[in-house]
Amino acid sequence: MTDQIETTLAGLRVPAPHGVLPNVLAATGLADRYVQRDSVVGPVYVAFGGDGVTRLDIAMSESQFESEYEEMMGRPVVKVDDVPPALVTRVDRAISEGRPGRLAVDLSSLTDFQQAVLRKTAEIPPGEVRPYGWVAREIGKPGAVRAVGTALARNPVPLIIPCHRVVRSDGQFGQYSLGDAANKPRLLREEGVDLEGLESLATRRVRYTGSDTTKIYCHPTCRHARRTMEIHQVEFKSEKAAEKAGYRACKVCRPAVAA
């Protein structure tokens, strides 16, 4: 009789709908969640926990991403389909615009210094670049240029926090943490950066450009510098050269930061 009941009950069981287990694990806080989204450099995985987005990476095998995530973050992550539409919209906008905007980003796994570097980097507008030294000086650590590079290389949310907009002081693009090295110039070109123009300036060791009408000098990609007509544009190889010529630093792109 017992065997008959067990057989009957077993026959009543049905497999759980697809996605129930991952959603339950995420909803109970036992795992973080991730989704796949599109970007200029191809499909990416975006993971998030209770305090915001925690990681963004080039889409790979799901098992590889989940394994690497747990190793790096110390907690499991599961792919889910049930994500609030408003959150998906904010994620897509952040990826498209290259800045967090209203999207919460969780940087709690990083050191205070690394967080400061990434928050400052997030302020760089689309279509503009800044050197590593600019980030270092802006956060009050002018001697930490190499450490800034290391922090950017460990950026857990590239595209959302635009480390592709930070370049070497000699105009070279430097390394990039998302995919291959070609992605960095690809992203900059997509944003409208004149890469050939930057390379030409770098070859001549020009770091700043100024306007002879306003007597203000800027980073070459600053929106104010781009509005300067060519006949009024003046080139400078250093801050000292610009200031010696009677030019003052742009208050928007801040090529010179007080110590």
Q: What residues act catalytically? A: 163
Number of H helices, E strands in the chain: 11, 10
- Given a contact cutoff of 8 angstroms between Cβ atoms, the answer to whether 210 and 219 are in contact is no
**Quick one: angle between helices 195-203 and 183-190, nearest 10?**
110
DSSP sequence for 201-233: HHHTT--EEEETTTTEEE-TTSHHHHTS-GGGE
Element (H, E) at 47: strand 44-49
- Given a contact cutoff of 8 angstroms between Cβ atoms, the answer to whether 73 and 54 are in contact is yes
Instruction: Tell me how far apart the alpha carbons of residues 176 and 184 are, in angstroms, rounded to a whole number.
Output: 6
